[in-house]
Structure 1
Amino acid sequence: MSFTGKSETYLETTLENNGFFPDLSLGDLQRLYRVPTEYHQEKVEHHLRLAMLDVNDDLCEQQTAWQSEGHATLAAVSDKTIGGNNILEEQYRRAVFCKTTATLFQEFATINRREVGENQAKESESTAQQYQAQADRALRSLRGVTTNITVELL
């Protein structure tokens, strides 16, 4: 129990990915992105799976390119690490976890309604937009795009 009186028991489930991208832990999502522990496990799993599918779809062409270069997994693409973790896998986790957090925060009002002050950050549209922007930046980084803005001639 935390000082807030709410449970701080993190989910221990790991969701299997497609073999190329890393498996992801619900507990890591909760710890790293402060996803409230009062969310039901099924809801968190569902949104994490959807985010994994979205990010995997967004990176489909990049995955094909990496695999054509002979890389069997995302971790094999680069040996660069930060804090002992592969940098591409960290960017992948960031993209998926931010997408998950953004959708969970947008839905919080439909899950549980309490006093506005307590849940304002959980329900805030700007909070969800910030997480979506972080997910987009992580995806751009994985694709090798170093700027935050891209222009295309149509």
Structure 2
Amino acid sequence: MFNGNELNYQSVEITNDSFWPDINLADFQKQRKIPIDLDSELLTDALLASIAEINLSLESLKNKYSANGYIAASEVPGAKANGQNALCAQYKKALYARAKADLIGEFNSVSSRAPNPKQENPETQRSLLAEAAFVIRNMKGLKRVTVASI
């Protein structure tokens, strides 16, 4: 509930590889409504683990863009808003969904507040992981679902 006090997000810069954008912990907290009382090291570790997973998933896409002369995701043409292109926005969306899914179990165990059933249930975690997977598939130019014959 809003009490008039300003929220103090934890600004920690996370340096990514040279292609994908750097990440700030405060942006993750704001965009994904992460409780501000969670330890910054815990949150940073979750983001680092998710960066490693997402970057590995997107290695072929990175190589494709690099082969076409783009040295950073921010240079790839596409829709832009507030100084960010669609590719970087999609990257952050997938990253933040994956990291939040990894943290769901921590929300109740680390925080001393009342549980939030909507945010902390297994269905929410599955939904966040599906969101990340859908975004990654879209970035790769794949449809949400594909069928292959065996």
Q: TM-score, normalised by structure 1?
A: 0.87
Q: Contact 1:11 / 1:27 at 8 angstroms: preserved in 2?
A: yes
Q: 8 Å contact 1:106–1:128 — kept in the other structure?
A: no
Alignment of 1:26-65 (within 5 A): 26-65=25-64
How much has 1:80 moved relative to structure 2? Answer: 2.4
Which range moves more in the overlay, 25-34 or 135-144? 135-144
Partner of 1:128: 125
After TM superposition, the structure 1 stretch with the greater mean CA deviation from structure 2, 104-113 or 64-73, is: 104-113
| Per-residue deviation, 1:86 | 0.5
Residue 152 of structure 1 aligns with which residue?
148
1:103 is paired with a residue of what secondary structure?
A: helix
RMSD: 2.2
Structure 2 matches for 1:46-125, cutoff 5 A?
Answer: 46-112=45-111, 115=114, 118-125=115-122
Q: Which moved more, 1:63-72 or 1:90-99?
A: 63-72
CA distance in 2, matches of 1:128, 1:30: 17
SS in 1 for 2:127: helix
Question: What are the Cα deviations for residues 101-121 of structure 1, in whole angstroms up to 9, with x where unaligned?
Answer: 111113334324654xx4323
After TM superposition, what 4+ stretches of structure 1 lie above 4 angstroms from structure 2? none
| CA–CA distance in structure 1, aligned partners of residues 60 and 132 of structure 2 | 18
Where does the alignment leave 5 or more consecutive residues of structure 1 unmatched?
Answer: none
Post-superposition offset of 1:57: 0.4
What is the deviation of 1:144? 1.3
- Counting aligned pairs with the same residue, the percent is 24
Task: Write the distance in 2 (CA, Å) between the matches of 1:140 and 1:52.
Answer: 16
Equivalents in 1 of 2:69, 2:12: separation in Å?
31
Whether the aligned pair in 1 keeps the contact of 2:35 and 2:107 (CA below 8 Å) is: no
In 1, the alpha carbon distance for the partners of 2:38 and 2:80 equals 32
TM-score w.r.t. length of structure 2: 0.89
Question: Residue 10 and residue 29 in structure 1: after superposition, are their counterparts in 2 closer, same or farther (change >3 A)?
Answer: same
Count of residues in Structure 1 that have an aligned counterpart in Structure 2: 150
